[in-house]
Protein backbone atom coordinates (compact mmCIF):
# COMPACT_ATOMS: atom_id res chain seq x y z
CA UNK A 1 0.00 0.00 0.00
CA UNK A 2 1.37 3.43 -0.84
CA UNK A 3 1.68 6.20 1.73
CA UNK A 4 -0.83 8.30 -0.25
CA UNK A 5 -3.54 5.65 0.11
CA UNK A 6 -2.73 5.33 3.82
CA UNK A 7 -3.11 9.10 4.17
CA UNK A 8 -6.56 8.99 2.56
CA UNK A 9 -7.72 6.26 4.94
CA UNK A 10 -6.32 8.06 7.95
CA UNK A 11 -8.52 11.10 7.43
CA UNK A 12 -11.76 9.49 6.23
CA UNK A 13 -15.01 10.49 7.96
CA UNK A 14 -15.72 6.99 9.27
CA UNK A 15 -12.42 6.84 11.15
CA UNK A 16 -12.80 10.34 12.60
CA UNK A 17 -16.34 9.45 13.74
CA UNK A 18 -14.97 6.33 15.45
CA UNK A 19 -12.57 8.54 17.46
CA UNK A 20 -15.51 10.44 18.91
CA UNK A 21 -17.19 7.15 19.82
CA UNK A 22 -13.98 6.03 21.56
CA UNK A 23 -13.90 9.26 23.54
CA UNK A 24 -17.41 8.49 24.80
CA UNK A 25 -16.40 4.95 25.78
CA UNK A 26 -13.35 6.20 27.69
CA UNK A 27 -15.44 8.84 29.48
CA UNK A 28 -18.11 6.46 30.77
CA UNK A 29 -15.94 3.58 31.98
CA UNK A 30 -14.63 3.19 35.53
CA UNK A 31 -11.69 5.47 36.42
CA UNK A 32 -9.24 2.54 36.40
CA UNK A 33 -9.91 2.15 32.71
CA UNK A 34 -8.25 5.47 31.93
CA UNK A 35 -4.76 5.21 30.49
CA UNK A 36 -3.31 7.82 32.84
CA UNK A 37 -3.92 9.43 36.22
CA UNK A 38 -3.73 13.20 36.19
CA UNK A 39 -2.21 13.78 39.61
CA UNK A 40 0.37 16.37 40.54
CA UNK A 41 3.24 16.02 42.99
CA UNK A 42 2.19 19.42 44.34
CA UNK A 43 0.00 19.61 47.44
CA UNK A 44 -2.34 22.53 47.72
CA UNK A 45 -6.02 23.38 47.47
CA UNK A 46 -7.26 20.34 45.60
CA UNK A 47 -10.07 18.00 46.57
CA UNK A 48 -8.38 14.81 47.80
CA UNK A 49 -6.91 15.15 51.31
CA UNK A 50 -3.30 13.97 51.70
CA UNK A 51 -1.71 15.48 54.84
CA UNK A 52 -1.47 18.30 57.41
CA UNK A 53 1.24 20.85 58.12
CA UNK A 54 1.53 23.69 60.65
CA UNK A 55 0.01 27.01 59.65
CA UNK A 56 2.47 29.58 58.25
CA UNK A 57 1.93 33.29 57.71
CA UNK A 58 0.24 33.89 54.39
CA UNK A 59 -1.60 30.54 54.23
CA UNK A 60 -5.21 30.64 53.07
CA UNK A 61 -7.41 30.63 56.19
CA UNK A 62 -9.94 28.53 54.30
CA UNK A 63 -7.47 25.62 54.43
CA UNK A 64 -7.23 25.71 58.25
CA UNK A 65 -8.72 22.66 59.98
CA UNK A 66 -10.66 24.38 62.78
CA UNK A 67 -11.88 21.08 64.23
CA UNK A 68 -8.28 20.04 64.76
CA UNK A 69 -7.54 23.44 66.30
CA UNK A 70 -10.37 22.97 68.83
CA UNK A 71 -8.99 19.55 69.80
CA UNK A 72 -5.26 20.35 69.92
CA UNK A 73 -5.11 24.12 70.37
CA UNK A 74 -2.72 24.35 67.39
CA UNK A 75 -3.37 25.62 63.90
CA UNK A 76 -2.86 23.21 61.00
CA UNK A 77 -3.74 23.53 57.34
CA UNK A 78 -5.08 20.69 55.23
CA UNK A 79 -2.98 19.69 52.22
CA UNK A 80 -4.91 18.25 49.29
CA UNK A 81 -3.65 16.70 46.10
CA UNK A 82 -3.75 18.99 43.11
CA UNK A 83 -4.94 17.78 39.74
CA UNK A 84 -3.21 18.96 36.60
CA UNK A 85 -3.11 18.17 32.93
CA UNK A 86 -0.99 15.19 31.90
CA UNK A 87 0.96 15.78 28.68
CA UNK A 88 0.71 12.87 26.25
CA UNK A 89 3.74 12.44 24.01
CA UNK A 90 3.01 10.18 21.04
CA UNK A 91 5.99 8.54 19.31
CA UNK A 92 4.70 6.60 16.27
CA UNK A 93 7.15 4.48 14.29
CA UNK A 94 7.27 5.68 10.68
CA UNK A 95 10.49 3.89 9.70
CA UNK A 96 10.73 2.46 6.22
CA UNK A 97 9.85 -1.06 7.37
CA UNK A 98 6.61 0.26 8.87
CA UNK A 99 5.37 1.10 5.35
CA UNK A 100 6.40 -2.17 3.71
CA UNK A 101 3.44 -4.52 4.24
CA UNK A 102 -0.13 -4.32 2.99
CA UNK A 103 -1.77 -2.76 4.89
CA UNK A 104 1.29 -1.06 6.39
CA UNK A 105 1.91 -1.02 10.14
CA UNK A 106 2.44 2.72 9.88
CA UNK A 107 -1.25 3.16 9.09
CA UNK A 108 -2.33 1.15 12.16
CA UNK A 109 0.24 2.96 14.31
CA UNK A 110 -0.93 6.41 13.25
CA UNK A 111 -4.55 5.41 13.79
CA UNK A 112 -3.72 4.16 17.29
CA UNK A 113 -1.87 7.42 17.98
CA UNK A 114 -4.83 9.51 16.86
CA UNK A 115 -7.23 7.40 18.93
CA UNK A 116 -5.20 7.95 22.11
CA UNK A 117 -4.83 11.63 21.22
CA UNK A 118 -8.61 11.95 20.91
CA UNK A 119 -9.09 10.55 24.42
CA UNK A 120 -6.40 12.74 25.92
CA UNK A 121 -7.64 15.92 24.20
CA UNK A 122 -11.13 15.09 25.48
CA UNK A 123 -9.68 15.11 29.02
CA UNK A 124 -8.23 18.61 28.44
CA UNK A 125 -4.66 17.29 28.35
CA UNK A 126 -1.89 18.45 26.04
CA UNK A 127 -0.79 16.15 23.23
CA UNK A 128 2.38 16.23 21.17
CA UNK A 129 3.34 14.04 18.20
CA UNK A 130 6.95 12.97 17.59
CA UNK A 131 7.26 10.43 14.74
CA UNK A 132 10.56 8.57 14.43
CA UNK A 133 12.63 6.44 12.08
CA UNK A 134 16.40 7.00 11.99
CA UNK A 135 15.80 10.04 14.17
CA UNK A 136 12.91 11.74 15.93
CA UNK A 137 10.95 14.64 14.47
CA UNK A 138 8.73 17.23 16.13
CA UNK A 139 5.50 17.05 14.14
CA UNK A 140 3.34 18.79 16.75
CA UNK A 141 4.51 20.32 20.03
CA UNK A 142 2.20 19.63 23.00
CA UNK A 143 -1.07 21.48 22.62
CA UNK A 144 -4.60 21.10 23.95
CA UNK A 145 -8.10 21.52 22.60
CA UNK A 146 -10.74 18.89 21.90
CA UNK A 147 -11.25 20.09 18.34
CA UNK A 148 -7.58 19.74 17.36
CA UNK A 149 -7.94 16.06 16.43
CA UNK A 150 -8.67 16.91 12.78
CA UNK A 151 -5.52 19.05 12.67
CA UNK A 152 -3.57 16.13 14.15
CA UNK A 153 -5.02 13.77 11.53
CA UNK A 154 -4.02 16.13 8.73
CA UNK A 155 -0.47 16.38 10.10
CA UNK A 156 -0.16 12.60 10.38
CA UNK A 157 -1.54 12.11 6.89
CA UNK A 158 1.44 14.01 5.51
CA UNK A 159 3.90 11.44 6.86
CA UNK A 160 5.45 9.05 4.37
CA UNK A 161 8.42 6.68 4.12
CA UNK A 162 11.85 8.19 3.61
CA UNK A 163 13.27 7.86 0.07
CA UNK A 164 16.00 5.40 -0.90
CA UNK A 165 17.77 3.66 1.96
CA UNK A 166 16.99 6.47 4.45
CA UNK A 167 14.45 5.98 7.21
CA UNK A 168 15.96 2.96 8.97
CA UNK A 169 14.68 2.15 12.46
CA UNK A 170 16.77 3.62 15.29
CA UNK A 171 14.61 3.66 18.41
CA UNK A 172 17.51 4.17 20.90
CA UNK A 173 18.67 7.29 19.04
CA UNK A 174 15.12 8.59 18.70
CA UNK A 175 14.39 8.18 22.42
CA UNK A 176 17.64 9.97 23.28
CA UNK A 177 16.59 12.82 21.00
CA UNK A 178 13.19 12.95 22.69
CA UNK A 179 14.79 13.19 26.14
CA UNK A 180 17.02 16.01 24.90
CA UNK A 181 13.93 18.11 24.12
CA UNK A 182 13.58 18.77 27.87
CA UNK A 183 9.79 18.45 27.98
CA UNK A 184 8.10 18.16 31.35
CA UNK A 185 7.24 14.69 32.59
CA UNK A 186 4.06 13.16 31.27
CA UNK A 187 2.99 9.97 29.50
CA UNK A 188 5.25 8.81 26.66
CA UNK A 189 3.45 6.46 24.28
CA UNK A 190 5.73 4.57 21.86
CA UNK A 191 3.77 2.99 19.00
CA UNK A 192 5.94 0.47 17.17
CA UNK A 193 6.65 -3.18 16.47
CA UNK A 194 9.88 -2.60 18.49
CA UNK A 195 11.95 -4.46 15.88
CA UNK A 196 15.28 -2.62 15.77
CA UNK A 197 18.61 -3.56 14.15
CA UNK A 198 20.31 -2.93 17.53
CA UNK A 199 18.21 -5.66 19.15
CA UNK A 200 15.66 -5.73 21.94
CA UNK A 201 18.28 -5.26 24.69
CA UNK A 202 19.32 -1.91 23.20
CA UNK A 203 15.65 -0.90 22.86
CA UNK A 204 14.94 -1.75 26.50
CA UNK A 205 18.06 0.12 27.67
CA UNK A 206 16.81 3.19 25.78
CA UNK A 207 13.31 2.86 27.26
CA UNK A 208 14.87 2.72 30.73
CA UNK A 209 16.22 6.22 30.06
CA UNK A 210 12.78 7.76 29.55
CA UNK A 211 11.93 9.78 32.65
CA UNK A 212 8.15 9.84 32.12
CA UNK A 213 5.50 7.17 32.52
CA UNK A 214 5.48 4.77 29.59
CA UNK A 215 2.79 3.21 27.44
CA UNK A 216 4.05 0.76 24.82
CA UNK A 217 1.69 0.00 21.94
CA UNK A 218 3.14 -3.05 20.18
CA UNK A 219 1.97 -3.42 16.58
CA UNK A 220 1.75 -7.13 15.79
CA UNK A 221 0.82 -9.50 12.99
CA UNK A 222 0.26 -13.23 13.29
CA UNK A 223 3.08 -13.77 10.80
CA UNK A 224 5.55 -12.17 13.24
CA UNK A 225 5.57 -15.28 15.39
CA UNK A 226 4.53 -17.77 12.71
CA UNK A 227 6.03 -16.77 9.34
CA UNK A 228 4.69 -18.68 6.33
CA UNK A 229 8.04 -19.23 4.66
CA UNK A 230 9.48 -22.37 3.07
CA UNK A 231 12.30 -23.39 0.77
CA UNK A 232 15.42 -21.54 -0.34
CA UNK A 233 14.90 -17.78 -0.16
CA UNK A 234 16.88 -14.60 -0.67
CA UNK A 235 15.83 -12.14 2.03
CA UNK A 236 16.42 -8.42 1.51
CA UNK A 237 16.38 -5.90 4.35
CA UNK A 238 14.14 -3.08 3.13
CA UNK A 239 15.96 -0.53 5.31
CA UNK A 240 19.65 -1.42 4.93
CA UNK A 241 19.51 -3.18 1.56
CA UNK A 242 21.45 -6.14 2.99
CA UNK A 243 20.73 -9.48 1.30
CA UNK A 244 20.87 -12.91 2.96
CA UNK A 245 20.30 -16.35 1.41
CA UNK A 246 18.41 -18.67 3.76
CA UNK A 247 17.18 -22.25 3.54
CA UNK A 248 13.95 -22.42 5.53
CA UNK A 249 13.89 -25.78 7.30
CA UNK A 250 11.80 -26.88 10.30
CA UNK A 251 14.88 -26.42 12.52
CA UNK A 252 15.43 -22.85 11.23
CA UNK A 253 11.76 -21.99 11.80
CA UNK A 254 11.94 -23.38 15.34
CA UNK A 255 14.98 -21.25 16.13
CA UNK A 256 13.17 -18.21 14.72
CA UNK A 257 10.07 -18.87 16.84
CA UNK A 258 12.25 -19.24 19.95
CA UNK A 259 14.03 -15.95 19.19
CA UNK A 260 10.71 -14.18 18.66
CA UNK A 261 9.37 -15.60 21.95
CA UNK A 262 12.46 -14.25 23.77
CA UNK A 263 11.91 -10.86 22.13
CA UNK A 264 8.26 -10.78 23.26
CA UNK A 265 9.13 -11.93 26.79
CA UNK A 266 11.87 -9.32 27.17
CA UNK A 267 9.48 -6.50 26.24
CA UNK A 268 6.78 -7.83 28.60
CA UNK A 269 9.27 -8.28 31.45
CA UNK A 270 10.48 -4.70 31.03
CA UNK A 271 6.90 -3.39 31.09
CA UNK A 272 6.15 -5.25 34.33
CA UNK A 273 9.37 -4.15 36.02
CA UNK A 274 8.91 -0.52 34.94
CA UNK A 275 5.15 -0.58 35.68
CA UNK A 276 4.61 0.57 32.11
CA UNK A 277 1.55 -0.18 30.01
CA UNK A 278 1.93 -2.73 27.22
CA UNK A 279 -0.84 -3.09 24.65
CA UNK A 280 -0.65 -5.49 21.70
CA UNK A 281 -2.59 -4.26 18.67
CA UNK A 282 -3.31 -6.52 15.70
CA UNK A 283 -2.60 -4.31 12.69
CA UNK A 284 -4.94 -6.37 10.51
CA UNK A 285 -7.95 -5.65 12.76
CA UNK A 286 -9.82 -2.44 13.53
CA UNK A 287 -7.52 -0.44 15.81
CA UNK A 288 -10.17 1.77 17.40
CA UNK A 289 -12.41 -1.23 18.13
CA UNK A 290 -9.50 -2.97 19.89
CA UNK A 291 -8.82 0.09 22.06
CA UNK A 292 -12.52 0.47 22.84
CA UNK A 293 -12.63 -3.12 24.12
CA UNK A 294 -9.67 -2.40 26.40
CA UNK A 295 -11.43 0.58 27.93
CA UNK A 296 -14.76 -1.22 28.22
CA UNK A 297 -12.98 -4.06 30.03
CA UNK A 298 -11.45 -1.57 32.45
CA UNK A 299 -7.93 -2.60 31.44
CA UNK A 300 -5.25 -0.64 33.30
CA UNK A 301 -3.17 0.69 30.41
CA UNK A 302 -0.64 2.43 32.66
Q: 46 Cβ partners below 8 Å, 6+ apart?
A: 40, 80, 81, 82, 83
Long-range contacts, stretch 98-101, CB < 8 angstroms, 24+ apart: 98/133, 98/161, 98/192, 98/193, 98/219, 99/1, 99/3, 99/6, 99/160, 99/161, 100/238, 101/1, 101/221
pLDDT of residue 299: 66
* One domain, residues 78 and 94: no
Are 62 and 206 members of one domain? no
* Residue 179 CA, distance from chain mean position: 15
The two most distant CA atoms of the chain are separated, in Å, by 87
Q: Give the pLDDT of residue 298.
A: 65
Indicate whether 63 and 207 sit together in one domain.
no
**Quick one: 97 and 139 in the same domain?**
yes
SS3 content of the chain, % helix, strand, coil (to 5): 45, 25, 35
Q: What is the CATH number of the domain that holds 118?
A: 3.40.50.410
Residues 157 and 171 in one domain: yes
Is residue 143 included in any domain, yes or no? yes
- Average of per-residue pLDDT values in the chain: 86
pTM higher than 0.75: yes
Give yes or no: residues 96 and 159 share one domain: yes
Question: Is 72 within the bounds of a domain?
Answer: yes
| 77-116 confidence digits (pLDDT tens) | 888 765 567 899 999 999 999 998 889 999 999 999 999 9
Q: Which helix (H) or strand (E) holds 141?
A: strand 140-143
Closest C-alpha among 117, 135, 120 to residue 181:
135
The number of domains in the chain is 2
What range does the domain containing 51 cover?
A: 39-83
90 and 202 both lie in a single domain: yes
Instruction: Find residue 279's DSSP bridge partners.
Output: 217
Residues 78 and 150 in one domain: no
Distance CA 31, CA 119 (A): 13
In a domain, 159, yes or no: yes
Do 133 and 20 share a structural domain?
yes
Rounded to the nearest 5°, which phi and psi values hold at 171?
Answer: -65, -40
Query: How confident is residue 35, by pLDDT bands cut at 50, 70 and 90?
Result: low
How confident is residue 57, by pLDDT bands cut at 50, 70 and 90? confident
- Alpha carbons 262 and 38: distance in angstroms, whole number: 34
Q: What is the pLDDT of residue 77?
A: 85
Is residue 209 assigned to a domain? yes
Say if residue 27 is in the same domain as residue 57. Answer: no
CB distance 193 to 216 below 8 Å:
no
Is residue 206 included in any domain, yes or no? yes
Assess whether 75 and 201 both reside in one domain: no
Secondary structure class of 220 (helix, strand, coil): strand
Q: Choose among 134, 96, 131, 99: nearest CA to 113.
A: 131
**Full strand arrangement of the beta sheet holding 140-143:** 140-143, 127-129, 88-92, 187-192, 213-220, 277-282
- Same domain, residue pair 64 and 100: no
Residue 178 Cα distances to 142, 173, 182, angstroms? 13, 9, 8
Amino acid sequence: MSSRLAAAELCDERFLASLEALRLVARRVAPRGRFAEQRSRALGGGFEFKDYRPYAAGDDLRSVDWNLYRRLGRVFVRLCEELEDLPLYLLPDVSKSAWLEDPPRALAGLRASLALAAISLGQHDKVGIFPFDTDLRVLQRPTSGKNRILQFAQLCSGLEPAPGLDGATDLPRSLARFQALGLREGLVCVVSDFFDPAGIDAVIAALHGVRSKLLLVQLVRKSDAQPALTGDLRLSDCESGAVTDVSITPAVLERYRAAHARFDAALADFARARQAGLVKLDVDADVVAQLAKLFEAGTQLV
